[in-house]
Structure 1
Amino acid sequence: GWDKESPPPMLPQEIVEGTAKRYREVYSKLTGQIN
């Protein structure tokens, strides 16, 4: 686990990209805007 005192561990790029994609999809559904 992370002790919250040292820098957090790096996330794999595919996790970062997948999370960003899901946030954009939800944003589009909620607002009707495409970003």
Structure 2
Amino acid sequence: MHGEMIRLAAESPQVTRVFVNPAIKLCAQLLS
């Protein structure tokens, strides 16, 4: 799954940034 997110980021940076930023924040909250 992580690889897919990285691949999406490479293909469409703007769209992925909108999608990945909240996902990273959510993961950070779950891990902390």
TM-score using structure 2 length:
0.49
TM-score using structure 1 length:
0.47
The structure whose RCO (Cα within 8 Å, separation 6+) is larger is 2
Q: Which has the larger radius of gyration?
A: 1
Q: Which structure features the higher share of helix residues?
A: 2
